[in-house]
Structure 1
Amino acid sequence: MSDLFEDPAPGNAPEYTVSELSGAVKRVIEGEFGLVRVRGEIGRVSRPASGHLYFDLKDDRSVIAAIAWKGQAARMQVRPEEGMEVIATGRMTTFPGQSKYQLIVEDVAPAGAGALMAMLEKRRAALAAEGLFDAERKRPLPYLPQVIGVVTSPSGAVIRDILHRLRDRFPRHVLIWPVAVQGERCAPEVAAAIRGFNALEPGGPIPRPDLLIVARGGGSLEDLWGFNEEIVVRAAAASTIPLISAVGHETDTTLIDFASDRRAPTPTAAAEMAVPVRLDLLATVDGQGARMSRSVAQAVFARRQRLSDLSRALPRLDALTQGAAQRFDLWSGRLGGALTALVRAKRARLDPLGAHLRPRLLADLVSRSRERLADRSRALEAGHARRTERAADRLASLSARLDPALSRSVAEAARHAARDRNTLNALTARLEAAPAERLRRLSDRLEALDRIRQTLGYTETLRRGYAVVRGDGAVVTTKAEAEQASALEIEFRDGRLALGPRKPKRAKPADPPPEQGSLL
């Protein structure tokens, strides 16, 4: 029975320490899975202060721990977020301290365009909920900015298209902030450029732009991803300078388009939104000047007509005193007759009464009546003198007021006439100078068009080493036409070379039929 409980023989199996076994497992895993691509959903993302990135890759049955070191995480174009479906590229290794295996991630890419679009839509909804895309935040663009800031790559065709369009429409002062327009440096450099333009002080050594243009050419969704980053969207929304986004082609849409004040389908269209056409403005100014000239002329004519009407309505000095003089003459003429009639009436009443009166009473009555009559006569004379004096004073007052008023009216009319005459002289001088100025502008335009014609002509092509071949007076473009021509002429940069008459190449005759031979 004791034999049944004895320890079995150890056999030939070697013994390993824990470290040796962990190292062997590590070598096997790293040797078999040196470079792998794993597809899964990201869960539990951790970003400690060290800068490393820890997250899980999972599917419906398993979970793999993943880690991206600080340098690798900084170079990733797409930052891992929880819930994203990605394809992680890296190498498998183990962590002996916890007896687990993990994936050292070198790069993370979304699992197809659908995952990118889902993440983009999620980010767009989150930023829109903060109000960064509200229409109330958008500012109107300046009609004619003095300085335009452009954030783009200095080596691409985008900046040349913008400068060319601005030069054609209305030349402006342009400040270029060079940035990377794709890759890991795109988002921080574009955000820094927008904040840098906004940090410039007005009136400083570097002029502060009145308008910003963020531009890039077309590309895939991954190429344009830098303009979907949250740092770029927040910088565009916080910009106090009006901003136009011109990222990609017309069908491309990035998040900076929602945060900017205006979206342009192409960089060239952004330049067209930034400035108006100078020739159109000049035509508008000329039209407004013509309207102003007509308005001034009509105003001068209306004022002159109004002055003439007012001068005709102004009364003469003698017309103001005619009524008062006529009333005075009427009352003066009626005064003598009224006194005589009054005396006769009093006498008629006195005669019946005088028969009953004694001489003394009559004398007293006559004396009292004479005194009353004298008093009334003096009062009448005094009243007449006062009324005459008041009428004379009023007449003098009216005369004194009339003369200054007439003088002021005449002086005001003279000032208006002098001012209108000066205005008319200035407008006449402008009108005389306008044809010469217009002719000069048209001459400059004609010279510019002639220079463009010379630049686009075929003679400039001849200077680059090409030649024009003519056959029988017509331009020859194929070998067959040259062979059929009887005479050729070659035009070089410094002249023409004529080749003598030549026989046109005839068509090759058909081969004769094979001989049958003789039967004999």
Structure 2
Amino acid sequence: MPFPSAPDDDDDFRKDALLASERSGDNAPALSISEISAQLKRTVEDRFGFVRVRGELSGVKRAASGHLYMALKDESARLDGVMWRGNAQRLGFLPEDGVEVIATGKLTTYPGRSNYQLVVERMEIAGEGALLALLAKTKARLEAEGLFDPRRKRPLPFLPRTIGVVTSPTGAVIRDILHRLSDRFPCHVVVWPVLVQGQGAAAQVAAAVRGFSELPEGGPIPRPDVVIVARGGGSIEDLWGFNEEVVVRAIAASTIPVISAVGHETDTTLADFAADLRAPTPTAAAEIAVPVRAELAAQVAELQARRGRAMARMLGHARERLESRGQRLPAPEALLQPQAQRLDDLADRLRRALLHRTEIASGVLARHGGALRPALLTHRLERERERLAARRLRPEALLQRIDHARSRIDALDRLRRSLDPEAPLQRGYVLVTDRGGHVVKDRATAAQRADLTLKFADGTLAVTTATGTAGAEPAPPVPTAPTAPRAPARARPTAGDDQPKLL
């Protein structure tokens, strides 16, 4: 079957053709997907290069790269949006779902998903109502975390030595605070300069509060005892930096008591709820932070006066009680009269007793003095002298006792030598002992002992009775207890010994 031939250039275009064909001069050439996507992208960006749209945020998500992805929607439509990292970092608020905003940017397409999106360059909250709604939503969320719990608030120090102030260094607020502190109670003030509104204000305020808490004790910069976060009055948009979550969390986490003095008395920010105390104005914060020195001096003077009056009153009462009790006591003369009378009585008795004892002693002395005659004393002295001469030591008596003791010692020494068991060994005798060191005196006893020791004058020899052979090694000598010589008996004096004893 033959294949159909291609149509000629003059033939009409057939709609039921199987193969696509292009004729010369055709004004609708086939485009690739990338080409038509690029044309569509240029068309949309040229037509909508600058737009401002109003809508409610939905699906807000911040990527790890810092880019912010979201969707803007109203009652009947939805528009995807993206905000690159540089613009997202300059946002003056924290985007959340449900917040109505006005976004400024340009429309573009995303060929990867065949959709279009808004590249947001600037985003603002759509009106004060939307701002208040965002504020209420943030407040409810932080309150649920317990950051506004009154139980976590700390008392302020009564008399701080150093006060830290977080505010703008060029505004009227710092001058008002310093002036009020100088009037009430001058103290050391450390100012941490920050922006109080606009882009980056919230981050600087939070960093200042954390910086005061991180100051070490005794460092080059004194650590404050209390911190004042202050700003003058303004609109809700001007004060919005103190509603940011980063500021609220920094104040709640501060280790130093914080006084919030943002705006006027009618202005309220989330920083006021997180602080330990809210002051209606910055000037009021300075008044709350320190007492009045003049009032303290007057109070001290009043306390001193009260102390003096109390001491005088107490002394007066004590004096009255002493006088009252003293009146009930008897007179000193009445207390001492019986004792004085007794003293006189005892003194008189003592004098009479001494005279009586003197008379008795005189009689005794006279009685014994009559018996003391010189002739009697001389006779007794001569008699004692004769007894002393009779008791003097004579050399002949001592030499006689020494000779008697020497003869007794010689007799004992001869007896010792005759009784020495080892003396016969020198003459050729042998001493036989068993294993226990007992002397074997007869043959029958020696036959019953297996091991014997023969002691000669020059050593010992071990033998065995069963084999009749001598031991290979001489047995060690059996120790014998030395016989202690008996002390010579003291010679008794004979009847003819007339040597007297001294004692």
Decide: shared fold, TM above 0.5: yes
Quote the Cα distance in structure 2 between the aligned partners of 1:174 and 1:240.
18
Query: Which of the numbers 291, 307, 310 marks the counterpart of 1:292?
Result: 307
Instruction: Report the residue type matching 1:100 in the other structure.
Output: N
Q: Is 2:220 the counterpart of 1:205?
A: yes
**Equivalent residue for 2:109, pick from 94, 109, 112:** 94
Provide the rounded CA distance (Å) in 1 between the counterparts of 2:230 and 2:118: 38
3-state SS, counterpart of residue 319 of structure 2: helix
* Alignment-derived partner of residue 254 in structure 1: 269
State the 1:305 CA deviation. 3.5
Question: In the aligned structure 1, how far is the partner of 2:201 from the partner of 2:121?
Answer: 20
Matched, 1:275 2:290: yes
Q: CA offsets per residue over residues 126-145 of structure 1, 9 Å max, x none?
A: 11122211221112222221
Matched AA of 1:254: T
Shift of 1:113: 1.0
| 2:132 alignment partner in structure 1 | 117
Counterparts of residues 18-97 of structure 1 (less than 5 Å) = 18-97=33-112
Contact 1:216 1:247 in 2 (8 A): yes
Aligned residues: 326
Aligned-partner SS, 2:229: strand
| Structure 1 alignment gaps of length 5 or more | 327-520
Deviations for 1:63-101, whole angstroms, at most 9, x for unmatched residues?
Answer: 111001111100011222111111111111122222221
What's the offset of the Cα at 1:237? 1.5
> What are the Cα deviations for residues 297-327 of structure 1, in whole angstroms up to 9, with x where unaligned?
333333334444444444456645889999x
1:51-450 pair list within 5 angstroms: 51-316=66-331, 319=334
User: 1:319 and 1:142, CA in 2 relative to 1: closer, same or farther beyond 3 A?
Assistant: same
Residues 442-488 of structure 1, C-alpha deviations (whole Å, 9 max, x = no match): xxxxxxxxxxxxxxxxxxxxxxxxxxxxxxxxxxxxxxxxxxxxxxx
Residue 167 of structure 1: how far off its partner (Å): 0.8
**Structure possessing the higher radius of gyration over alpha carbons:** 2
What is the one-letter code of the residue matched to 1:171? P
Equivalent residues of 1:80, 1:108 under 8 A apart: no
RMSD: 2.5
Looking at structure 2, the residues matched to 33 and 80 of structure 1 have their Cα atoms a distance apart, in angstroms, of 24
Deviations 1:233-270 (A, max 9, x none): 11212223221101111111100101111111111111
Q: d(CA) in 2 for partners of 1:113 and 1:38?
A: 17
Opposite residue 82 of structure 1, the aligned amino acid is D
Whose helix fraction is larger, Structure 1's or Structure 2's?
1
Q: For the residues of structure 2 that align with 1:261 and 1:291, how far apart are their CA atoms?
A: 35
Letter in 1 for 2:216: E
**Distance in 2 (alpha carbons) for counterparts of 1:256 and 1:82:** 23
Q: Is the 8 A contact 2:261 2:280 kept in 1?
A: yes
Q: Give deviations 1:16-47, integer Å, cap 9, x for gaps.
A: 33222222211111111111111111111221
Structure 2: where are the runs of 5+ without partners? 8-13, 342-503
Farther-moved stretch of structure 1 (281-290 vs 21-30): 281-290
Matched AA of 1:164: H
TM-score (norm 1): 0.59
2: CA distance between counterparts of 1:150 and 1:59? 44
1:78–1:108 Cα contact (<8 Å) kept: no
State the identity %. 60
Alpha-carbon distance in structure 1 between the residues aligned to 2:179 and 2:83: 45
| Aligned equivalents of 1:230, 1:191: Cα separation in 2 | 9
Letter paired with 1:87: I
